[in-house]
Amino acid sequence: MDIKSKVLALKYRPKIFSDLIGQEVVSQTIYNSIKHNKIPNAFLFTGIRGVGKTTIARLIAKALNCKNGIEKLCNQNLCESCDSISNSNHIDILEMDAASKTGVDDVRDLIEFSRYGPSSSKYKIFIIDEVHMLSKQAFNALLKTLEEPPEYLKFIFATTELKKIPITVLSRCQRFDLSRVRSEELFVYIKKICNFEKGNVSDEALKLIVKISEGSVRDSLSLLDRVLLSNDEGKRIELSDAQKIFGYFDKSNLIKIFEYVLRGDQNKTFEVYKNIYNQGIEPKTFLNDFLEILYYFKNINSLKENSKNFDLNDEEFELIKKLSSNLDTQTLILFWQFTIKTLEELNIVVDQNISVEMFLIRLIHIKSIKIGEYKDDSSVKIQTNKIKPEKEKQKKQDPVKQIKSVAQEKLLDNIEIDKINANNFEIKSINDLIELCNRKKELKLKYEIENNVNLVSFDYGRIEISINEKLEKDFIKNLSSKLLEWTNVRWMITLSKKTGGKSKKESEVENKKKLFEETKDTESYKKILQTFSDAELIDIKKTDE
């Protein structure tokens, strides 16, 4: 393949140990072990994707077989062995993907192949990528060879899932944990690559690439490749352009949402959120980034303006610092708990966007809080404050006085009395709520509560119910709206994974069944059966007596 046509991750792959970034301790240790001829039988590299596991494996293979030795390892003018390894066609270097060859038969073929010495080099080397994908039997087949291999044979393993590798294999390997590359170091590296490629990209856009790549060199180079390919006209790629390319929204929008939430401005909050959602941002991504913003509000005084993770620019940093001066820790902890709970809700809600909108409404209308001891269920007690009702509108007088009959006047008076009684109705239990739905002629809500609501807890202003697939999709939204209309209080209705009590209908059926059984045990019923043997108990009605 022509080097110009290669993707950046392959084009700029390290050729010697000094080219590696972020893994200085690991590369120095390996360099010394090869230099002093104290080479382990098996190397094991673990870490996230794109930090250099396979790259270091190939460098070790080159260092062990290079004709110039490790101190003069080929960089530009490659020897025959180094050139073959770079092109992945060396006869004594076998690279195997354990994800596609997981069985014990594949490992047996490998062991059989290891019995023969190297053909053209000093060492025969087996590089097994994603080694955790091997089966248990395959690992067991490797054990003896790993512990006492021939002098010419070396194993190099790479994995992202260290916990899946048996301890018996781990104990036979020299393990190296590759860390994420620090943001500052990664920024300098991709900026240098960008200059090599004559790319016109702003520092802010490069910092966004570093942020998204999460310490992975390969990811950062792939993202840089994407940015450079999107710029045919040669104009400068700014931060806003990079955000559009990656579908990444500006952190300043989250800070604005947080500011509007604190002010209680629902319209502005939803306006900014709608703009974020219309960019194609997933609700789960939004909530995770919201958690990140909460972290900054809590720890802004201990962070520096030139934060090494490049999450905040100077303007955002100062705004968070200003807003956080009026915030207490309890409020931030409560917001954190609500965000975590909403993330859990996303797994059971069909329309995740609605869940996020309700989450923002909940944050806006929390007025006073009490945070109790944190239990396993992370319960938070909330006190709701009544919203002051709007000023009563004066009754409009008809332009033409109409004569009403006495019956009409009485009817109107009765309707007004019913309205007053309904609005002053106290809701102390789920049965009171059912009664209010009946009075307000909300038969659909009444049916859902009676038949499909399994109650976990009920307090004034807060209802917790267990998950029930039979519930209507918009039940929580409709009930919250109606309760606000009826009581002038923002009610919180939450779904819980706990098993709630039986619905009213289920309880009635169970009580009826119990009453039948008790009645059948009475002497009166037994006497009736003695007289009328084919008698059957159909229904029971209690009388005042």
SS3 127: strand
89 and 73 co-located in one domain: yes
In contact, 227 and 209? CB cutoff 8 Å:
yes
SS3 288: helix
The total number of structural domains in the chain stands at 5
Domain co-membership, 208 together with 266 = no
CATH label of the domain that carries residue 201: 1.10.8.60
Tokens of 243: 């955000």
Same domain, 81 and 11: yes
Task: Return the H-helix or E-strand segment holding 195.
Answer: helix 183-196
Q: Answer whether 223's CB lies under 8 Å from 209's CB.
A: yes
Give yes or no: residues 520 and 485 share one domain. Answer: no
Same domain, 125 and 21: yes
Residues 33 and 104 in one domain: yes
Q: Do 86 and 167 lie in a common domain?
A: yes
Domain end: 304, 329, 362, which one? 362
User: Is 193 found in the same domain as 54?
Assistant: no
| pLDDT tens sequence across 44-101 | 999 988 888 999 998 998 888 888 888 778 877 788 888 888 888 888 888 888 888 7
Q: Are residues 11 and 135 in the same domain?
A: yes
pLDDT category of residue 373 using cuts at 50, 70 and 90: very low
- Per-residue model confidence (pLDDT) at position 176: 92
Separation CA 501–CA 470 (nearest Å): 15
The CA distance from 88 to 82, in Å, is 10
Is residue 307 over pLDDT 60? no
Total Cβ atoms within 10 A of residue 379: 13
Which residue type does 45 have? Answer: F
Residue 476 maps to a domain: yes
Rg over CA atoms, the chain? 35
84: in domain: yes
Count of C-beta atoms within a 10 Å radius of residue 355 = 19
Within a domain: residue 396? no
pLDDT value at 416 more than 70: no
- The pLDDT assigned to 304 comes to 59
- Give me the CATH number covering residue 173: 3.40.50.300
pLDDT at 257 over 50: yes
Is residue 147 domain-shared with residue 280, that is, in the same domain? no
pLDDT tens digits for range 315-346:
777 778 888 777 778 888 888 888 998 888 88
Domain boundary among 194, 219, 246: 246
The reply to whether 400 falls in a domain is no
- Residue 327: give its domain's CATH number: 1.20.272.10
Q: Say if residues 221 and 190 touch (Cβ distance below 8 Å).
A: yes
524 pLDDT more than 70: yes
Residue 379 lies in a domain: no
DSSP symbol at 395: P
Q: Does 384 map to a domain?
A: no
| pLDDT for 43 beyond 90 | yes
Classify residue 378: in a domain, yes or no: no
Q: Of 362, 389, 417, which residue constitutes the final position of a domain?
A: 362
pLDDT for res 11? 87
Residues 452-496: pLDDT tens digits? 888 888 888 888 888 777 777 778 888 888 888 888 888 888 887
CA distance 190 to 276: 28
Residues 23 and 159 in one domain: yes
Q: Domain range holding 491?
A: 409-496
Give 347-360 pLDDT, tens digit per residue. 888 888 888 888 89
Q: Helices 251-263 & 352-364, crossing angle to 10 degrees? A: 50
Look at residue 418 and tell me whether its pLDDT is greater than 50: no
How far apart are alpha carbons 506 and 68 in whole angstroms? 83
460 lies in the same domain as 523: no
Classify residue 220: in a domain, yes or no: yes
Nearest to 141 by CA among 175, 102, 96, 97: 102
Residue 355's contacts (CB-CB under 8 Å, 6 or more residues apart) are: 283, 342, 345, 346, 349
CATH number for the domain spanning 445: value is 3.30.300
